[in-house]
Amino acid sequence: MSYIITTSDLTKQYREVTAVDSVDLHVEEGAVYGLIGRNGAGKTTILKMLAGLAFPTSGSITIGNGSRKPRIGVLIEEPGLYRSLTALENMEIKRIALGSPDSPERSRQLLEFVGLMNWADVRCGSFSLGMRQRLSIALALSGDPDILILDEPINGLDPQGIHDVRTVLSRLNQENGKTIVISSHLLDELSKVATVYGILDRGRLVKEAGEEEILNSMPAYVRFIVDDTLAAKTVLESMGIFSYQTKSQHMIHVLEQFARRDEMLEKMIMAGIHVHECQVVRESLETYFMGITKEDRV
């Protein structure tokens, strides 16, 4: 497997506090790696170390897997912008500083990409948090980085903004093959883009797993909405299924036997029950995260 970022025993200590404790991360090339954790779990500290903004107390970070050092675009904490300069001028400073062969037109394209073209010549000081966040994403994309390190990139964005950023990230990953390491408190949003997860708790990496593994470990159930729950229960029991919960007068959750969903549905219909809804529902990433970190604490 080709890892573009690996850390080994990565530790960061601030006086008495261990912010990151012996973390071994493995980020595959082309993955969207979601870092999940409570406040103070060490997400931002890890991202800062990956971005070269902070030094590890011990342990090592390896970035790149070939002879060429990958280029990294960074958005960590508050957007870093010169507020007295315009959006385009900020972009140009980054472009020139990187010695990028791109033309100035590329800066405009990136602003267009994040939906700020109409504000290209407006000073950043007058931007809303969402606009600054978008500009920071455009800055992170300047120089065509191979890896994007994004800390809470959807913080402060309105629902439309969150949707736009998600779309941008998905496109960057799927169309351009960018590797993205991203942290967010909005786990359901994160679950829409991430392909691998690293779950942190009090500075330690408690789990690192792919989307599929996480999905399979998430609690799930089949939800039936029917006109007669009593009759539905009789059908289920006749099939040898006893692990169910009656949630309301019309709703039953069947906690296992997902593979027999169609069979259950067929039997209920044959029994003359009106089935209004029948679907497999998975617990959210948030519920999964709460469960795994609680387990770890116990």
Residues that bind other proteins in the complex, under the rule CB under 8 A: 48, 51-55, 71-74, 76-85, 89-90, 92-94, 96-99, 136, 139-140, 142-143
- Provide φ and ψ at 5, rounded to 5°: -135, 130
- Angle at CA 186, nearest 5°, toward 184 and 191? 85
Residue placing its CB nearer to other proteins in the complex, 76 or 235:
76
**Residue 92 CB, nearest distance to other proteins (Å)?**
6
**Residue 130 CB, nearest distance to other proteins (Å)?**
17
**Residue 55 CB, nearest distance to other proteins (Å)?**
6
119/294 Cα distance (integer angstroms):
45
Residue placing its CB nearer to other proteins in the complex, 66 or 99:
99
**Residue 74 CB, nearest distance to other proteins (Å)?**
6
Residue placing its CB nearer to other proteins in the complex, 97 or 230:
97
Nearest one of 2, 1, 6 to 205, comparing CA atoms: 6
162/155 Cα distance (integer angstroms):
8
Residue placing its CB nearer to other proteins in the complex, 40 or 80:
80
- Provide φ and ψ at 26, rounded to 5°: -135, 105
**Residue 93 CB, nearest distance to other proteins (Å)?**
5
- Provide φ and ψ at 32, rounded to 5°: -110, 105
In 275-296, which positions are buried (b, 16+ CB within 10 angstroms) versus exposed (e)? eeebeeeeeebeebbeebbeee
Residue placing its CB nearer to other proteins in the complex, 121 or 266:
121
**Residue 182 CB, nearest distance to other proteins (Å)?**
16
Residue placing its CB nearer to other proteins in the complex, 25 or 232:
25
DSSP assignments along 93-159, one per residue: HHHHHTT----HHHHHHHHHHTT-GGGTTSBGGG--HHHHHHHHHHHHHTT--SEEEEESTTTT--H
